[in-house]
Structures are given as structure tokens and as C-alpha cells.
Amino acid sequence: MLLAQKRIQVDSIIASDPKQLIGPFNTVTLDNQIVQQQSAHYIMLHKPVGVVSATKDDIHQTALDLINTDAYANLHIAGRLDLNTSGLLLLTNDGKWSRALSNPDSEIKKTYLVELENPLCSDYISAFANGMYFSYEDITTKPVHLTIISERVAQVELTQGRYHQIKRMFGRFRNPVTSLHRVSIGDLVLCNNLAPGQYRELTIAELALFR
């Protein structure tokens, strides 16, 4: 009825097809009054250690507590980091985008800098590349690329994200992780200018890295 009367517009175009799909970021008006309008936001946050990757928490400060939610409503986290891990965390209000990013089959590479209590040796490289069996999940981890940066610092590239995966993998060598920092997700690198706790919107070029 409303369609036949040409009273509904989607993104300023009169809607006539009852099967037209409306997404969360289409602007919909009825009699020129807005009934739905929301912009998509994609944010990179430099997550500090001690901040929980959640929208609500009774004990710890959350990633969302760091964001001005007057400017950015309905954000959620796209891919968690542990409480004591710092680095690149993405937030968005676009559920389709975050689902694609967190889909285990997408195999998007995530790069971490890891500091360890004890010295590394070349055995780590092959053990990480060969995968490790996690009995709790009954899986063998996918090949992980490990580069030794210095005696106690490694760079690790994961294409999956099992619970505490990096700490558990170094745990096999009885080598505790003393610091864990996510540097990049896919080709998107955490901006150097963002101090821990700071954030900014992704640029169009950065967003295109995920398409």
C-alpha cells in the first residue's frame, strides 16, 4: 500500500518492489520523514593491556569504554584480544563485516609481537609450522609462521584464533609469554600515531584492504 502510494524512499529513490532488501545502512523515509538512518563505522583501537575485549564487564574497563559512544553508536568488537594483550582491535556497527572478518574459514593473517621469559631457538620455528595438537578442542593448529627477532622476541603470524593460542603454543616449550601485541590484521597495520587507548576511523584505503 505505502509502496503503491510511492510514500517510501530508500536512499532518496522511491521504493516500489516489496522484495527489495533493505540493509542497516540504507536511509529509509516515509512521507519524507526518516524512519531509518545509520552510517557504517569501522574503527581501529590501540587496545591497552588490562582492557577487556567486550562491550560490558563488571570488573575491567572495556574496549567500548574507551570510545565516545555519542559519536559511534551500536559498536561491537570484530575479533577479540586477551585482557593482557595489547594492539590492533577493530570495532564496527556493521555485523556483516565483522562476521566475515571473524569467520574461521577466512584465514585472515594476524601478526603478533611476542616477548618471552626464556630464549628462543630454531626448534620453535618448525614446531609452530608443523602445528600443535590441542586435545581440549581436538584440533591440530594450522601452520603458524614464527620469525625470531631477537633472543626473547618473536613475530608470529596466525591464520586462526583459538583460545589463548599463542600462549598455549609457547607453553609447550614451558616458555611463558611476558608481552603480546597485535601488530596487524591482514594488510591493515596498527597506526604508529595511536597511543594505547586511542582510536580512529579506518580510511577508505584501509577498508578496501578487506574487500
Q: Is 167 in the site for ligand URA (CB under 6 A)?
A: yes
State the Cα–Cα distance between residues 162 and 80, nearest whole angstrom: 11
Task: Give the integer Cα–Cα distance in Å for 178 and 130.
Answer: 24
Q: How far is the CB of 85 from ligand URA (least distance, A)?
A: 3
Q: How far is the CB of 158 from ligand URA (least distance, A)?
A: 7
CA 127, CA 165: separation in Å to the nearest integer? 14
Tell whether residue 15 is a contact of ligand URA (CB under 6 A). no
SS3 166: helix
Task: Name the residue nearer to ligand URA (CB basis): 103 or 203.
Answer: 103
Q: Does 165 bind ligand URA (CB under 6 A)?
A: yes
What distance, in Å, lies between the first and last C-alpha atoms of the chain?
Answer: 38
At 5, list the grid cell. 502510494
- Binding of residue 145 to ligand URA (CB under 6 A): no
Stretch that binds ligand URA, among 36-44, 66-74, 119-127, 161-169 (CB under 6 A): 161-169
Q: Is 180 in the site for ligand URA (CB under 6 A)?
A: yes
Nearer to ligand URA, 15 or 90 (CB): 90
**Smallest distance, Å, CB 147 to ligand URA?**
16
DSSP string covering 10-67: ETTEE---TT----TTS-EEETTEEEE-----EEEEEEPTT-BSSS--SSS-BTGGGS
Q: Which residue, 7 or 168, is less far from ligand URA as judged by CB?
A: 168
- Which of 161, 193, 194, 156 is CA-nearest to residue 175? 156
Q: Would you call 82 a catalytic residue per the annotation?
A: yes
85 binds ligand URA (CB under 6 A): yes
Residues designated as active site: 82
The binding site for ligand URA (CB under 6 A) comprises: 81-82, 85, 164-167, 180
